[in-house]
Amino acid sequence: MAQQCIALLTLALPATGTLVAARFVTPLVVQTGTDGYAIGVCRTAAVSGEVVGVDVSGTVLVEAGAAVAKGATLKADSVGRAITWVTSGARLAIALSAAAAAGDLIECLLLDNAA
């Protein structure tokens, strides 16, 4: 299946730090850190003060931080990439496609999470 993104809600938000495209971001619009909560995934790279599109509902393309199996529950690594959730951290998404290695883009379904 081809990768796709079916965002149901995308917010235009000002970045408060440097953002890398296709990574999880916090409500403060900075990259999510290890096990952190996220409001969504940024569509493009940005620097502090630039407005960036953040997909907060639906399916998104996110950069994997390691190999990920289709169907895995995902959390953020130290730089906001998607890795497999095992026992701790905020559950951010469900993988709809697999990643063979770090750097692969995968489609995932965003989950509601709260701080």
Query: How confident is the model at residue 53, as a pLDDT?
Result: 97
Give residue-wise pLDDT tens across range 36-63.
Answer: 999 999 999 999 999 999 999 999 999 9
What's the whole-number mean pLDDT along residues 70-81?
A: 97
Is a pLDDT exceeding 70 seen at residue 114? no
Give residue-wise pLDDT tens across range 78-105.
Answer: 999 999 999 889 999 999 999 999 999 9
Strands, DSSP E only, in the chain?
A: 7-14, 24-25, 40-42, 51-63, 73-76, 82-84, 93-95, 105-110
Mean pLDDT of the chain: 94
